Amino acid sequence: MWLTIFNVAIILIIVAMTRSEGFWGNLLLMFNAIFAAILASNLFEPFAEFMEGQSASFTYFWDFLGLWALFAVIFAILRAITDQISETKVRFKFPVELPGGLITSLICGWVVVCFFMFSLHTAPLARKNFGGAFGTAPDETAFFMAPDHLWLGFLQSRSEGAFAKSTPTVFDPESEFILKYGQRRAQLELLPGLTIDERGGRRRR
């Protein structure tokens, strides 16, 4: 219940914050958010592994922190670039401007919710959290349309399609991301006196 309310609040806050941007501004924000989330999702594990080498005591924190730090930095860079490239907003007629701005604003909010739910799998939380609303089972979801599953499917499909390398490296090829990080959260619940190796350490996709 609370997780659903929180996700709805995220969407409403983003809509409220971006309503003055108009159709063109929200269109740019939408693409910035999508590309920032894609890049952060693909880069967070190497980043977390590097940071773990610098401070192993935060091993269960770096994945989540890395995801959001990368998203924030990449989004800020993309926003700065698009602001420079498009200094003048493209104006649309009212019948297009109003619904277009609202739809792109809602998409921005939905992308952030998808990314947020995806990131919760990497967070240093219990295996089952939010009162059992999250992490009850890999094939269950706590929110409308399973945004975390949708984001994982999107990443996997794009790594095989439009964003594939000449030698494709498929994102989560065995579809084990949720299981893997669910196991990591279960390991985190072990006694704090255990070492990182005894807890299982980092498992890469």
Which residues, other chains included, contact 55 with Cβ-Cβ below 8 Å and sequence gap of 6+? none
The confidence band for 143, taking pLDDT boundaries of 50, 70 and 90, is: low
The residue-averaged pLDDT of 152-158 equals: 89
For the record, the structure tokens of 95 come out as: 């019948």
Whole-number pLDDT of residue 193:
46
pLDDT tens digit sequence for 81-112: 999 988 777 888 888 898 999 999 999 999 99
Determine which helix (DSSP H) or strand (DSSP E) holds 109, and give its type and residue range.
helix 94-120
Identity (one letter) of the amino acid at 33? Answer: A
Give start and end residues of each alpha helix (H) in the chain: 2-18, 22-54, 62-85, 94-120, 147-160, 177-188, 196-199
Any idea how long the chain is?
205
Q: Which residues pair with 129 in a beta bridge?
A: 134
Whole-number pLDDT of residue 191:
46
In the predicted structure, residue 10 carries a pLDDT above the cut 60? yes
Residue 200: which region, alpha, beta or left (left: phi > 0; alpha: psi -120 to 50)? Answer: left
Say whether 134 sits in a helix, a strand or coil.
strand
pTM of the model: 0.82
Domain boundaries along the sequence of the chain:
2-6+13-190
Higher pLDDT, 124 or 12: 12
